[in-house]
Structure 1
Amino acid sequence: MAVAARRIGAETSATRTLILEATEKLIREEGYAAVSSRRVAARAGLKPSLVHYYFPTTDDLLIEVSRRGAAESDRMIEEAFASDDPMRALWGFFIDSSRTAMALEFMAMANHRDALRAHMAAHSEAMRRRQVEILGHLLGDRRLAALDCPPEALSVILAGIGRAIVMEANLGVSDGHEAARAFVERWLDQIAPAQAVRADA
């Protein structure tokens, strides 16, 4: 006898959105270890069974919260690339501290949850490919050859420096940050003058 598939709530449901928002707030305020169906339900003003109805496992819930955050990051990157000064807007994205708390929590979670780690890795790789594609278009083969810096390396360098600044600042460390920011901004002035980038885009 066939076993009926478990029904999962619709993705457009307001209740589902409420659960996700409650989970995000719980992670920001108390950390990922506080996430459970009971705690999320209490925060959302719902019964725990409703959380399970929409998200049968904790991994399902956390992956969807991560997916929402990833979609927001994708949107911000596309906005940066569509701006009048895309290189500096991309740098601004990398040093934006508004997502720090969630990013740190999810990095910690990924160390303990294989499904979440796989999802985050897949999104990171897709985001990197998109950045490389656009950086190559913005700078062009000639400028990249003159720099001797492929777009893959440029993406990693900007993201790595930005991430280090943001994560250290979250700990209260600021030594060297002003100098690093100034260095990157001077470097961008040399490799991607704002007017030249707009002309190539």
Structure 2
Amino acid sequence: MSREAILDAAEAILRDEGYAAVSSRKVAAVAGLKSKLVHYYFKTMDELFLALLRRVEEQHFAELRKATASGEPLRALWHLSTDPTVPKLHKEFVALATHHEQLRQEIARSAQRTRQVYAAAAESALIVAGLSTSMFPPVAIGMMLDGISRVLSTDKILGLDSGHADAIALVETLLNRLSVSRCEETTDAQQQI
């Protein structure tokens, strides 16, 4: 129970104030615990950040599984990637990873796994739509969707919206063209998770 409270507090601070604000004292205060308990459960702050990242990634992959099980996996993945609550936390982990090699490796592993999910969903959609996977590489489509969603979220933080409507319209056109509605079928994307 205390371990989860510590992780909840660290996540809230990370999301609301940024990684520089996460300290054992502050985490303990937000969790309503003594700071010694933070070090009881996590010997170092690196351990705490790694545990938090793994918990967040576990939740992320549960959402990916749900998205790939939907009638339109690629569209569901797009909507998941454009969820405004996710980017801030992700950006904080990436910033933190520039100073922590183990976090960087964990994020890279997770990103590769996510990329495989997108590629598998794109490949299924391309095949059903009768489009060439060599002309339209599934991994490139997955990267494009993920990349556009990241730019949209970064721009939103900066207060920019130039080109957003056109980019979203382009993605929607692509998704409409690749629309797949076979809910019962288990896709390669589900097996990648």
TM class by shorter-chain length?
0.7 to 0.9
User: What pairs up with 1:117-128 in 2 under 5 angstroms?
Assistant: 117-128=104-115
State the TM-score, normalized to the length of structure 1: 0.84
Aligned position for 1:81: 68
Comparing 143-152 and 153-162, the one that deviates more: 143-152
TM-fit CA distance, 1:140: 2.6
Superposition pairs of residues 125-136 of structure 1, within 5 angstroms: 125-136=112-123
Alignment counterpart, residue 21 of structure 1, candidates 5, 8, 33: 8
Q: 1:193 aligns with which of 158, 179, 183?
A: 179
Q: 1:188 to 1:199 in 2, by over 3 A?
A: farther
1:102 counterpart residue number: 89
Superposed CA offset, 1:15-53 (max 9, x none): 100000010111122211111111111111111211111
Q: How has the CA–CA distance of structure 1 residues 53 and 180 changed in structure 2, closer, same or farther, with 3 Å as cutoff?
A: same
| Conserved 8 A contact 1:144-1:151 | no
Report the CA distance shift for 1:172/1:146 in structure 2 as closer, same or farther (over 3 A).
Answer: same
Deviation for aligned residue 1:137 = 3.4
Cα distance change, pair 36–199 in 1 and its aligned pair in 2 (3 A): closer
Is 2:104 the partner of 1:113? no
Taking the aligned partners of 2:129 and 2:172, their CA distance within structure 1 comes to 21
- Please say if residues 66 and 106 of structure 1, whose CA atoms lie closer than 8 Å, have aligned partners that are also in contact: yes
- Aligned residues of 1:83 and 1:89 also touching (Cα < 8 A): yes
Q: Does residue 1:176 correspond to 2:163, yes or no? A: yes
Displacement after TM superposition at 1:199 (Å): 8.7
Q: Which has the higher contact order (CA 8 A, sep 6+)?
A: 2
* RMSD value, Cα: 2.1
Tell me the equivalent position of 2:150.
163
The answer for the alignment partner of 1:60 in structure 2 is 47
Aligned length: 186
The 2-side partners of 1:43 and 1:90 are apart by: 33
Q: CA deviation at 1:141?
A: 8.2
CA distance in 2, matches of 1:63, 1:21: 13
> Structure 2: which 5+ runs fail to align?
188-193
1:5 aligned residue: none
CA distance in 2, matches of 1:96, 1:63: 23
Structure 1: gaps of 5 or more residues: 1-13
Between the aligned residues of both structures, percent identity stands at 37
Match of 1:34 among 21, 25, 32: 21
Partner of 2:141: 154
